[in-house]
Structure 1
Amino acid sequence: MKTPLAAFAALLIPACGAHAEDASLSAAPEPASYVRVCDAFGTGYFYIPGTETCLKVGGYLRVEAAGGDPNEQDTVPGGGGDSWSTRSRLALRLSSAADTEHGTLSTYGEAEIENVDNGPTSLNIENAYLELGGLRVGYSDTLYTEFTGDAGNTINDYYDVNYGDFGRTQIRYTYGEETGLSFALSAEDDSDANSSVVADAAKPDDDYMPDLVAAFGYSAEGFRIRAVGGYDESMNAGAVKLRMDGTLGPVELFAMGGWNTNGSEPNNYARWSGDWALWVGGTFKMTEKAAMNASANFDQGGDAEAALNMTYTIAPGFTVAPEINYRNRMDEKAGPNAKDWGGVIRLQRNF
């Protein structure tokens, strides 16, 4: 019996080996497909697999604590109370870009998830627009503010002397590069509720006529000048701003002035008191990791406010910024016991 069994086993083993070899060949893994880096539009982009569109994902996480009457942290009627306010925010940013025969086609979206004082968590869309060449359509900061920039690098860069910190759905065209001449035009949807400081706040801006903004600027090494004007169609009034920036070694300085075409009444683009407003400030780069920022604002109505902070980079992408704030006439604005000083500290991780 041993001889026939041995012969059968000798025939069976090679056959099984052949089948095992075929199975291993058919189950061989495919070559790995890696995401390609896209450097045509800056750092952080990668190609969406199977397309020529580049994508970038980023954002930041921010935690703040603020106190003092200027930051509306009074717990006693009439001001003068002691309290802290806390705020935590997660901002997610998504950018895409691709070359087309008409120029670069790009999109940008930014969503903010925020919680204040342990209350209900809110979701805010900060940006949602597309661009083709110099044309932009969608929701973003008004051209009136984006072209001239914020009032410095402080956290609370204004209280009462508002330079126009709001967003609009708009159609915009911009021409120019980072250096040399540039100009921009935009038609902006004004159907949202007006700021409470605007004279016709109770009147809905729900008609076919948009607000209009025009801007012009020139930039060279170490110097920049920009001008912008906004027209509030519902009030048949507007405002203009002129800003100059200069760099002297580690010091960056700016001055910006605003003029209300109808000083007796604030409008969508002139949200300060009186005919004129002034914003000044600067940044001193102390070291590679530390910088000091200052800003001060004034208007014809007698408002005066200021901020001073220092930002320090603890690790790449992670900064801390303590800041002191001043806002005049708080006894008139918040109650007889309110004080003019406050403060805030911010920790932020960019990614």
Structure 2
Amino acid sequence: MFIRAILLGAGAVFLGVSTASAAYLPMSKGEAVEYVKVCTAFGPGFFYIPGTDTCLKISGQIRADYWFAQAPSNATGKRNISQTQFRTNARIRFDARTQTDWGMLRSFFELQAESNAGAATHDTFQVRQAYLQFGGLTAGYAWSPYAFYDPNYQAEFFAPYFGEQGRRNLISYTAQFDKAYATLSIEDGRDHRANASVYGNNVVVNGVTVAGGVGGAQMPDIVGVVGYDDNKNGWGRFQVMGALHQNRSATAGYSTKYGYSIGVGGNLNLPVLEGAYIAAEASYADGAVKYLGVGGSQPNGSSTLGFGGVDAYITNGTIHDLDSAKGFAVQGEAGLNVTKSLQAILFGGYLHFDAPRIASKITDNFNYYVVGGQVNYTVVKGFIAGAEVWYQNKDPEGLNSKTVDAVGAGVRLRRTF
């Protein structure tokens, strides 16, 4: 009882001292908190970075893909071909913009992570885009201005498609004249090579073994575009483009061959139907076939028929000359909104590739076409479920060649934010 009384008394004294001390503590007004403010100058989704006049938008998407692609009709070892594949893709984008007296200053950065057991590398993490813009200047890793279909449309989930694809390291300037525009772009020519190894590998010409391979880059690709853009208010957009590309062998004494590509691209809005449009791109290339989508890997990764080909070959007559590969490609799509939530798209493309090698090898000539359709249903805002079917056919023109075809189908679930 005595100990309990002592503890209660000590507690009362402690509380009294604490209260008295608190009464003499200096009181300060809470400091103002700087809240994030919405930026309306550049459209929805932007906010001011605290303490700056720069507006930032963070966006992205996650995609889950599941598809089946039939093994080529005349393929050998079909049991070793993965016909069903799964893929998960995640992207996040950072878009920072500041309005200056000299125009808008912008930096754009997009990261991509992908898991795909069917790819050469199972899991990848890469920079998908990274560039800065100041007025009409663009510098960094971005879509080539030559490309029209790939960055603006390209509805295909899994089906292969043709035309200039992917991003390039470049520096370009665009002059705007009301709705008309003109762009000059200087681009890394190595990004536009149809394959890392070109001109043949250790081939025999006139009894002489010649080591193939591409030489170091001496000059960049030069790309020019002129166009007219009325998408915001009316009928659509149209552009004409051209590119110059250098081909150079790694072996001393070879001639340097210059290739080129020319093309047109455009879209037409159809106001008679809700959300209806037609978009297409067509190009002809001579010694610059990467602008047709030939060489390297397909962005969609689902083609089972192959897109092999290079920009130039060793000729049959002399080991010191190169012969250009040639071809043309057409790619397009048409879409409309069936309902407010359901969109339907039809797409198709055709590629002709002409690249005769030396006489001891069959030619690489082929014709290739793809047709398909797609539907997309918006379940709720930001969540879209889509399905796609397609047919592809490759018809080689070489010795003992056979037509190869395949069909495919798949679904994609996509969440955007």
Structures share a fold, TM > 0.5?
yes
Whether 1:350 aligns to 2:416 is yes
Match of 2:290 in 1: 268
Whether 1:184 aligns to 2:183 is yes
Distance 1:149 1:14, change over 3 A: closer
CA deviation profile, 1:114-152 (whole Å, cap 9, x unmatched):
100287321111101111011011011222115874564
Secondary structure (helix, strand or coil) at the match of 1:37 reads: coil
Distance 1:115 1:14, change over 3 A: closer
Distance 1:79 1:231, change over 3 A: farther
Query: 2:338 aligned to 282, 286, 295, which one?
Result: 286
Match of 2:107 in 1: 107
| Bigger mean CA deviation after superposition, 319-328 or 49-58 | 49-58
C-alpha distance in 2 between matches for 1:75 and 1:270: 25
Contact 2:113 2:125 (8 Å CA) reproduced: yes
| Bigger mean CA deviation after superposition, 45-54 or 28-37 | 28-37
Match of 1:10 in 2: none
Contact 2:163 2:330 (8 Å CA) reproduced: no
Whether 1:218 aligns to 2:228 is yes
Contact 1:318 1:348 (8 Å CA) reproduced: yes
Match of 2:381 in 1: 316
Identity across aligned pairs (percent)?
23
Match of 1:206 in 2: 216
Match of 2:169 in 1: 169
CA deviation profile, 1:194-244 (whole Å, cap 9, x unmatched):
333996586446334110111111133123221111111224111111123
**Structure 2: segments with no counterpart, 5+ residues:** 1-14, 201-211, 248-256, 295-324, 353-365
Distance 1:337 1:63, change over 3 A: farther
Secondary structure (helix, strand or coil) at the match of 2:157 reads: coil
C-alpha distance in 2 between matches for 1:283 and 1:224: 16
**1:1-351, aligned counterparts within 5 Å?**
19-23=21-25, 25-26=27-28, 28-69=29-70, 77-78=77-78, 83-117=83-117, 120-146=122-148, 149=151, 152-156=154-158, 158-159=160-161, 162-176=162-176, 180-192=179-191, 194-196=193-195, 200=199, 203-204=213-214, 206-220=216-230, 221-234=234-247, 235-249=257-271, 250=274, 251-260=276-285, 262=286, 267-272=289-294, 274-300=326-352, 301-329=366-394, 340-351=406-417
CA deviation profile, 1:253-276 (whole Å, cap 9, x unmatched):
13332112x2xx553324458532
Contact 1:152 1:282 (8 Å CA) reproduced: no
CA deviation profile, 1:249-300 (whole Å, cap 9, x unmatched):
322113332112x2xx553324458532222321011111111011111133
Contact 1:111 1:123 (8 Å CA) reproduced: yes
C-alpha distance in 2 between matches for 1:114 and 1:258: 31
C-alpha distance in 1 between matches for 2:37 and 2:125: 32
Contact 2:282 2:328 (8 Å CA) reproduced: yes
Distance 1:91 1:49, change over 3 A: same
C-alpha distance in 2 between matches for 1:188 and 1:156: 28
Shift of 1:76: 7.1
CA deviation profile, 1:51-109 (whole Å, cap 9, x unmatched):
11111111111110121137x8x997147967311111111111111122221111000
| Bigger mean CA deviation after superposition, 184-193 or 323-332 | 323-332
Secondary structure (helix, strand or coil) at the match of 2:147 reads: helix
Contact 2:197 2:213 (8 Å CA) reproduced: no
RMSD over aligned CA atoms reads 3.4
C-alpha distance in 2 between matches for 1:92 and 1:155: 19
Distance 1:298 1:81, change over 3 A: same
Aligned residue pairs: how many?
331
TM-score, with structure 1 as normaliser: 0.82
C-alpha distance in 1 between matches for 2:196 and 2:33: 59
| Bigger mean CA deviation after superposition, 137-146 or 209-218 | 137-146
C-alpha distance in 2 between matches for 1:198 and 1:244: 33
Distance 1:213 1:82, change over 3 A: closer
Shift of 1:308: 0.6
TM-score, with structure 2 as normaliser: 0.70
Match of 1:3 in 2: none
Report the AA paired with residue 147 of structure 2. T
C-alpha distance in 2 between matches for 1:284 and 1:307: 15
Report the AA paired with residue 59 of structure 1. G
Distance 1:340 1:312, change over 3 A: same
Contact 2:89 2:115 (8 Å CA) reproduced: yes
Report the AA paired with residue 51 of structure 2. G
Contact 1:150 1:157 (8 Å CA) reproduced: no
C-alpha distance in 2 between matches for 1:254 and 1:193: 24
Contact 2:141 2:167 (8 Å CA) reproduced: yes
